[in-house]
Amino acid sequence: MQTDKRILIPTDFSDNAWNTIVYAMQLYKGSSCQFDIVHVYDVHPSQLATTLSSQRIGFFQDLIKKESEAGLNSILDDISNSYPDSTHVFNTHSRKGDFVEVIRDMVNTQTYELICIGTKGATGARALFLGSNTHSLIKNVDRCPILVIPDEVNFSPIRSIVFATDFERIYYKAEIKPIKKIAKQFGAKVCMLHIYDAPSLSHVQNYNSGALDNYFKNLEYDFYVVPNFSGVAKGIASFIDEEDVEMLAMINYKHSFLEELMREAVIKKITFNTKIPFLVIPSDT
């Protein structure tokens, strides 16, 4: 079946990873999509050589690969039993290697509309899989938007999207496009949020906000300005709680809100603590 969109979904077979798949299926319900579900496993023989012979290492690697493939087949069974949309196609990929490098390679060789990833992985040895790698993807994958799905979030129609920005640079159509697509699909309002230090916008900020005004002119939107009393992260979180929005969006560019949050390690708090999906859009420059 020829599909209009391709969505990449990493999984570690945890409940949160399954919830991410379900969320993505609901987000694109009624849209022709191919979902590529990938499990990445990494085995370092050098770390095992002290206790295992080379023959046993090879056996262990084969076992991990088979477990990966079996887990993906189980996901396909679960999807089939959940009455998927007839316009959706599901492919699975079992890949050995570094998680971020594998995802980057897939994004560089295929055109994906979105990467959907959960914030928390399985317990025990795999506990850091999605937690640490979500952060790594945001820092290192710059050719595809990333939608981070918080743990245990159930899908609900997107009525409003908060777009957090500092208005410090000009915006490009390609950067705004992912927000507009979701807003159009659900008839959602776009809430452009600025957390400010100064009481008024500079000439540059006014100019850039005017460009956004033009980009969103065919959608419902509004500008919101909130004083920076307790930091950018808390300001965004408070706005989300007060306005009851369904999605947070940021553009990842140099000196952006997002870079500031990542530099201060606050990005992890947003990723793990927000109650709504977090859309990270790469810069077009």
Predicted local distance difference test score (pLDDT) of residue 165: 86
Q: Is the pLDDT of residue 3 over 90?
A: no
Give the tens place of pLDDT for each residue, 127-158. Answer: 333 457 787 888 888 889 999 998 888 999 99
Tell me how crowded residue 239 is: count the other CB atoms within 10 A of its CB.
18
Give the tens place of pLDDT for each residue, 199-242. Answer: 677 888 888 888 888 889 889 999 888 877 666 777 888 888 88
pLDDT band per the 50, 70, 90 thresholds, residue 268: very low
Rounded-to-integer distance, Cα 186 and Cα 279, Å: 15
pTM higher than the cut 0.85: yes
Angle, CA 119 vertex, CA 126 and CA 81 arms, to 5°: 80
Predicted local distance difference test score (pLDDT) of residue 90: 97
Assigned token pair, 50: 């002290």
Query: In this structure, what are the phi and psi dihedrals at residue 215, rounded to the nearest 5 degrees?
Result: -60, -40
Q: Is the pLDDT of residue 109 over 70?
A: yes
**Helices 15-27 and 54-80 sit at what angle, rounded to 10 degrees?**
40
Rounded-to-integer distance, Cα 12 and Cα 87, Å: 25
Assigned token pair, 24: 């993505």
Rounded-to-integer distance, Cα 106 and Cα 26, Å: 23
For residue 255, what is the enclosing H or E element?
A: none
Alpha helix ranges (H) inside 85-221: 99-109, 129-140, 173-186, 203-215
Round the average pLDDT of the chain to a whole number and report it.
83
Give the tens place of pLDDT for each residue, 13-66. Answer: 999 899 999 999 999 999 999 999 999 998 765 555 555 555 566 667 788 889
263 vs 233, higher pLDDT: 233
Q: Is the pLDDT of residue 94 over 90?
A: yes
Predicted local distance difference test score (pLDDT) of residue 44: 63
Which of 188, 192, 186 lies closest to 249 in space, CA to CA? 192
Predicted local distance difference test score (pLDDT) of residue 211: 84
Tell me how crowded residue 240 is: count the other CB atoms within 10 A of its CB.
22
Rounded-to-integer distance, Cα 135 and Cα 165, Å: 20
Looking at the DSSP bridge assignments, the partners of residue 111 are none
